[in-house]
A and B are shown apart, each in its own frame.
Chain A
Amino acid sequence: MKPSSFSFCRAAAVWLGALFLAAPGLAAQQALAGPLAAQSLATTTLQKRPGCWGCTSCSGFTCCDGGYVPGYWNCSYGWLSGNCQLSSPGCGESALVPLDPDGSAQYVTRAPAAGVLAAVSPDGEAEVRNCDGVIVARRLSDEQIAAIRGRTASLTL
């Protein structure tokens, strides 16, 4: 994890806060990802930034927690509501879900933060999914691991 991603979120929050104080008529909700994403379309130098992909508690507030997914904004932050929205836009409907080479979303590898806003699947506690149904955390039992190794030791196609 890069420290710059967290500081990016904090810096953006401070920037939005200053803007809010300077302009009392500002709309009630400010999305962090929205304006930055819009800028990125205009100037490509702003397109690639440390993204954030999870939500956590920062000194009593909810804030975006940094991972490092270049070019992706996977969470947005409502400044006044203090709500962090996971995975924008569309919660992974586009190709913006980073993949691990086993074909799982990379969230699985970074489970602790990404699972915060996810729902537990009804069939057990082993899988945690985000709002789109993407598995974002998974814990495998020893039996499951043995079965996976057995099923993939030799393949014919």
Chain B
Amino acid sequence: MHYRRLVWLLALFAARSAALAQSPDCGSLALAEQAARVLPPSPGVSGAARDPASGDLLVWGPDQNVVRLTRGGERNQVALPPEVTITALVAGPEPGGLTVLDGMAGAALRLDGAGQVVGRDPLPRFEGEVVDAAVFVGGRWVTGSRDLLRRRYVLRRLDAEGKSALLFATEPAPSVSAIPRFHLTATGREVLMAEFMAPFRVRRLPLEGGEPREYETVLAGERQRLVPDSALRLWRSLAALPLDCGTIQTLADLSGLTRLLVRYDDAGHVARVARIEAPLGLMLSLPEARELIGARRVGTQASELELVFYQWRWVRDPNPSSLSTEEPIR
């Protein structure tokens, strides 16, 4: 009798373990603001990166100025030479220095702390391709380009000695202007791709090649009512950011203040969608520190953006729901 009960308990335990493995959600994500810092007036912000050596935050805009925000609260501006165009930027390899991938010049440029070019590594060129975005991952650059000849978007890993590998290519678009574009984010040995426009697809690509893992489409099924089809053309996605459990993506309405924060679980399923009425976007994730950095517009003058530093934690939700809003948008 006792033996049967033990077998039954073991079976129950195995079934529960299997169910947990199939739903790898970690609970609800709670973001708490730790600090906020207003950015200096600029023509906009194009990207941000963390200097792992110093902990400084590097923020740059379309005017090619880089602002270095130190942990101590200092703000130093580095003006790059006018001929440099930042497609992507990382700190190093020299202390205080920067490496810029300049897609227009077709080179990775090493700069000193004052922003002067001290080294130049040419990138392999591909006929008809325009480098659109890049990430530095696993010690190598991965570039996202619009292939104007074949009307497709391609992702390439750039290896040493001018070698490269094609990681991903979209199907040919009907026209050059219809070539989809993607935000790229480095995460461990993978690259996250988030499509600029609807349906805002997110994919995870292994750096060493292999099939991309496509996430569940956010505006599908009952979630379609969140944004009417007629309004979709004015919605954009920001970059998909890695969490220590899953991924988070901001969808923004260019015609209003509405933002959708979409959280995916580790399996790529939509775990939760939250709607906020505030000009806030999430731009950088530091999973090891459980820190998310967002930007929100807070100025009485048009140009004022503020960085918001969030700490995250996971909380168990007794009544989990995939939507934190029931109201359709417009």
Contact = CB atoms under 8 A, between A and B. Distances in A.
Interface in A110-157: 110-112, 129, 132-135, 137-142, 145, 147-149, 151-157
Interface stretch (B10-18, B135-143, B213-221, B231-239): B231-239
Interface string B277-302: 11111010000000000111111111
A157 B273 contact: yes
Interface residues of B, number: 72
A101 interface: yes
* Contact residues on A (Cβ < 8 Å of other chain), bracket: 35 or more
Nearest to A148: B278
Interface stretch (A28-36, A40-48, A74-82): A40-48
B196 A140 contact: no
B43 A68 contact: yes
Contacts, number: 186
A50 B248 CA distance: 33
Interface in B5-23: none
B42 A48 contact: no
A82 to B, nearest CB: 26
B119 interface: no
16 contacts: A1-B63, A44-B127, A44-B148, A100-B281, A100-B305, A103-B238, A103-B259, A108-B297, A109-B43, A133-B255, A134-B255, A137-B302, A145-B300, A151-B276, A155-B310, A157-B273
Interface of B: 28-33, 36, 42-46, 48, 62-64, 82, 85, 103-104, 127-130, 132, 148, 176-178, 180-181, 196-197, 233-234, 236, 238, 250-256, 259, 261, 263, 272-274, 276-281, 283, 294-303, 305, 308, 310, 315, 324
Given A112-B302, A154-B32, 9 more contacts: A44-B128, A44-B129, A71-B132, A95-B236, A100-B295, A101-B294, A103-B251, A151-B276, A152-B296
